[in-house]
Structure 1
Amino acid sequence: MGDPRFFPEPERLSVARIASITGAELRGDETRTVSGIAPLERAAATDLTFLENKSYTAAFRTTRAGACFVHPDLADQAPEGLVLLVSREPYRAFAHAAGTLFPSALRPSPVFGGVGIGPGAHVHPDARLEDGVTVEPGAVIGPRAEIGAGTLVGANAVIGADVRIGRDCTISAGASVTHALLGNRVIVHPGTRIGQDGFGFAMGPRGHLKVPQIGRVIIQDDVEIGANACIDRGANRDTIVGEGTKIDNLVQIAHNVVIGRHCIIVSQTGISGSTVLGDFVVLGGQVGTVGHIEIGSGAQVGAKGGVMNNVPPGARYGGFPAQPLRAWLKETAVLRRLAREQKGKGTPEGGDKEGDA
């Protein structure tokens, strides 16, 4: 259940309405209503919950929730009286319903509140803001910047000269955006940096000569960028993030990187310069890539993977250096077995040979 100080308590929503908006099959009392969301083990009779992972089946059998999204294969294990919302994609359906109950949680909220130019904000007279833009205290908007209706520029955010930001965007507190063009409904979380210099130097024994970075950052519609992420502008062409892509906190995207549509980039990942990602690529936490490679559409790289070469479309890679997942798992299993065998040999006194050396 959300704290009403931060997320207003929603009006009750009938399970029939929830089934209608999510396409789930309703099984049970269609007059029941819910007004909150909670995990299976904590849910009360007024809460909506979900079961997608079989690991939580025991909690499902004893939940006291009012209604639950569940896969049809697990529906027969529901406790008596629980209203079921049967869906092939329970978590996705739950997300849709939760967004209906708590719409204010779908994007960062204003710190100061209100619409218009807040006290202490500075908007250059040559900037162009459509009606309905909110600029919070301490924010700075540079000359010739253009910002679309419904966009929030948070407290102490900085929008550089000539930047273009579309409609219904959120540039959260303390973020900075320079040398960039943003589409509509882009969410930028606090502290993120977009459009700063790419890391480009001509190295040599006489020192490292800085290479001018004259590209831009292009961020398409419906992209979300987590807190304290960094997206460098291009060196001699643009850094591009495709529509619908979701970038987690603390991600580094270097100059000239091109990311396709609807990719998932998880926290602490670093993508080196001029790397190209196709559509629907998934990079797990702390993945690192070398530069100038391609990761094909639909490919997935597991957490901490070190990508040194091109990854084919649809492939699943893991390990360091990253390789096809099945090969990496087999290699890991062999190494583990060899380590056990070596440990089992030991010395006549029972010590480990390597440790005694």
Structure 2
Amino acid sequence: MTEPVFFTHHGRLTVAEIVRLTGAEPTGAVASTITIGRVAPLDQAGEGDLTFLENPHYLPLLASTQADLILISPKFLDKAPADAPLLVVREPYRAFAQVGIALFPEAARPQSFFGAKGISPGAVVHPEARLEFGVTVDPGAVIGPRAEIGAGTIIGANAVIGPDVRIGRDCSIAANAVIQHSLIGNRVIIHPGANLGQDGFGFSMGPRGHLKVPQVGRVVVQDDVEIGAGTTVDRGANRDTIIGEGTKIDNQVQIAHNVVVGRHCVIVAKVGISGSTILEDFVVMGGASATVGHIRIGMGAQIAGAANVKDDVPPGARMGGSPAQPFSDYARELALLKRLVRESRSRPGTGKN
């Protein structure tokens, strides 16, 4: 951590506290007197720091790290120096996150820029809006008539909450987010500049011009969803756009009208999901991938980065390429193309041998 002024830690954690928090098992090289105040990567960790190793790519850094504690997967135990201060845990990265949240709770969700509780004098809250006790509203935020906001929720600077919008408890709506025609659950995080509930892109097209189709649905965001900065979620045209419980959406994603995203999906940056597409539970869409409209992606399917999906995808499938196909076929195609290029370069008369 090169600039600790932004996130100050809340005390220090003992080895015993980290063990209780993560379920890790200390090896004999771990002194019970160690306390941890920060988290850091393997190559930057020093005294008072906790780090982790889960990806084999970083194995060469294990021998030289100066961390006071290392969360490590059992499969790497035989690669570690005998005197390394190891905490053995099945999911080191998850354990690292648990410790990070305990040390830096404010870093886990957007906070009020001003650190003050309650409604700022610089906010505009309509008299017909209903805010439970414990809501924080930063300067410049606007909350419309009949909007309802639950206790513990933070509304960031210059955020706009439209008429009749309902937001649950313990949410974070960051600066410059705009939410309209939406129902938001509990513990939802919406990052800066996200826009929810605007018109879906719907027109009746023809030679006499393109007639706008009224978009009369809503956006429904269930509990524990996170929506990244600059992401847009259009309201439904004739039914709701739905984001299922626990789904995590990265920055600059476009979700069109009538889309249904299941529970615990992961949607990476710059994904585009066209109208009326359905993602079942636990779908993963890699960065810059996209779908056409009116298709279904089955439960647990994985779409590789930059893939373009034009047909239904069965549950559990792994797809890649454009148009998307089973990843094994896509990989074979790439290998074949490489071989053909290599062979063409070696033919007489091509100028290359």
TM bucket, shorter chain? over 0.9
- Within 5 Å, which residues of 2 pair with 1:82-101? 82-101=84-103
Partner of 1:175: 177
Tell me how far apart the structure 1 counterparts of residues 162 and 216 of structure 2 sit (CA, whole Å).
15
**Residue 355 of structure 1 corresponds to which residue in structure 2?**
none
CA distance in 2, matches of 1:91, 1:10: 21
Higher alpha-carbon deviation: 141-150 or 53-62: 53-62
d(CA) in 1 for partners of 2:314 and 2:248?
21
In structure 1, the residue matched to 2:332 is 330
The alpha-carbon deviation at position 80 of structure 1 amounts to: 4.5
Paired residue type of 2:237: A
Structure 1 residue 132 corresponds to structure 2 residue 130: no
> Are residue 11 (structure 1) and residue 28 (structure 2) matched?
no
Partner of 1:228: 230
Per the normalisation by structure 2, the TM-score is: 0.97
Comparing 51-60 with 26-35, which one deviates more in the overlay?
A: 26-35
Paired residues of 1:198 and 1:254 also in contact (CA < 8 A): yes
What are the Cα deviations for residues 298-355 of structure 1, in whole angstroms up to 9, with x where unaligned? 000010010010111111111111111111000110011011111221526x269xxx
**What does the per-residue CA deviation read over 1:158-201, in whole Å, with 9 as the maximum and x for residues that have no partner?**
00000000000011100000000000000000000000000000
After superposition, where does 1:105-124 map in structure 2 within 5 Å?
105-124=107-126
Aligned twin of 1:242: 244
Q: 3-state SS of the aligned residue for 2:169?
A: coil
- 1:258 lines up with 2:257 in the alignment: no
| Distance in 2 of aligned mates of 1:109 and 1:79 | 41
Is the 1:178–1:196 contact (alpha carbons within 8 Å) kept by the matching residues of 2? yes
8 Å contact from structure 2 (residues 224, 245) kept in 1: yes
Using the alignment, how far apart are the partners of 1:145 and 1:71 within structure 2? Answer: 47
Aligned in 2, Cα 1:241/1:346: closer, same or farther, shift over 3 Å? farther
* Aligned residues between the structures: 351
- Asked whether the equivalents of residues 41 and 63 of structure 1 are also in contact (C-alpha less than 8 Å), the reply is yes
What value does the CA root-mean-square deviation take over the aligned residues?
1.3
2:51 equivalent to 1:43: no
- Mapped contact 1:63–1:79 kept (Cα < 8 A): no
Cα gap change, 1:346 to 1:236, in 2 (>3 Å): farther
Checking the alignment, whether the CA contact within 8 Å between 2:346 and 2:352 is kept in structure 1 is no
Range that drifts further, 102-111 or 208-217: 102-111
Aligned partners of 1:171, 1:2: CA distance in 2, in Å?
27
Q: Where has structure 1 moved over 3 Å in runs of 4 or more? A: none
Aligned with residue 322 of structure 2, among 286, 301, 320: 320
Equivalent position of 1:32 in the other structure: 34
Q: Partner amino acid for 1:15?
A: V
1:10 Cα deviation from its structure 2 partner:
3.2
Equivalent positions of 1:345-356 (< 5 A) are 345=347, 347=349, 350=351
**TM-score using structure 1 length:** 0.96
* C-alpha separation in 2, matches of 1:181 and 1:4: 36
Q: CA deviation at 1:22?
A: 0.6
Task: Give the Cα–Cα distance (whole angstroms) in 2 for the partners of residues 292 and 116 of structure 1.
Answer: 44
What is the one-letter code of the residue matched to 2:57?
S
Aligned counterpart for 1:284 among listed residues 286, 298, 312: 286
Tell me, in whole angstroms, the C-alpha distance in 2 between the residues paired with 1:54 and 1:19: 23
Check conservation: 1:50, 1:68, Cα contact below 8 A: yes
How far 1:9 moved relative to its partner?
Answer: 2.9
